């Protein structure tokens, strides 16, 4: 039930997909998560419930599908002039978005789905953002840690804390960035792009 691949791209099928996604987003704004049901979504989207059941399987898959769209970054990381500044600003904003009620819910939706493809894609978005910062750094002639190191030392702690405990403060996020950047300074490995692409 990928609902993304092997799907007729044109006409009605795409219209239904858009309509259902929009309905989900609209309903999630006004209603409590537990009150959003497939029949409700279907009514809002002007579609019969069985269409949704057949295409997405169940509510969780649909919510995951919608969530992963919303988690896709809509802009390139802000250019502050330095790699450290770029990463710091990006990480703070990322932490804030993800720890907000909406961000938390979307992560929950993505992780709750049986199909783990969405989670994987989600991780790829983040990696791409960091890669953009990294590329800019090397273009400037700055050193930058390996992408994986940033994922491990900045992204992972932020997300772990949001999921399992309390959202990290801006100060802590800055500390994480500091540690990651320091690590790079000690280790002479300015290799720019050896990472795996995604999505």
Q: How many residues bind DNA (CB under 7 A)?
A: 26
Task: Give the residue with the Cβ less far from DNA, 39 or 189.
Answer: 39
Among 18, 26, 31, 48, binds DNA (CB under 7 A): 48
C-alpha torsion 90→157→173→191, nearest 10: -50
Task: Give the residue with the Cβ less far from DNA, 59 or 67.
Answer: 59
Helical H segments across 46-186, by residue range: 49-56, 59-71, 83-99, 101-112, 117-140, 147-150, 156-164, 170-186
Does 122 engage in binding with a copy of itself (CB under 8 A)? Answer: yes
Among 18, 26, 33, 46, binds DNA (CB under 7 A): 46
Does 187 engage in binding with DNA (CB under 7 A)? Answer: no
Long-range contacts of 45-48 (CB under 8 A, 24+ apart): 45/16, 45/19, 45/20, 46/19, 47/16, 47/19, 47/20
Task: Give the residue with the Cβ less far from a copy of itself, 47 or 146.
Answer: 146
Binding site for a copy of itself (CB under 8 A): 33-34, 60, 108, 111-112, 114, 119-120, 122-123, 151-153, 155-157, 159-161, 163-165, 176, 179, 183
């Amino acid at each position: 039930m990928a609902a993304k691949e092997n799907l007729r791209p044109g006409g009605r099928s795409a219209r239904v997909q858009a309509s259902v996604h929009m309905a989900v987003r609209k309903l999630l704004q006004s209603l409590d998560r537990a009150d959003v049901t497939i029949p409700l979504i279907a009514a809002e989207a002007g579609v019969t419930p069985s269409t949704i059941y057949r295409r997405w399987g169940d509510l969780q898959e649909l919510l995951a599908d919608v969530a992963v769209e919303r988690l896709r970054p809509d802009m390139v990381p802000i250019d502050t002039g330095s790699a450290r500044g770029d990463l710091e600003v990006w990480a703070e904003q990322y932490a804030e978005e993800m720890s907000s009620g909406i961000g938390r819910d979307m992560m929950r939706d993505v992780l709750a789905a049986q199909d783990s493809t969405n989670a994987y894609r989600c991780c790829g978005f983040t990696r791409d953002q960091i890669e953009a910062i990294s590329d800019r750094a090397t273009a400037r002639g700055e050193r930058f840690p390996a992408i994986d190191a940033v994922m491990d030392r900045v992204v992972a702690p932020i997300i772990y804390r949001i999921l399992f405990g309390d959202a990290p403060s801006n100060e802590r996020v800055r500390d994480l960035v500091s540690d990651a950047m320091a690590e790079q300074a000690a280790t002479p490995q300015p290799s720019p792009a050896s990472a795996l692409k995604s999505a």
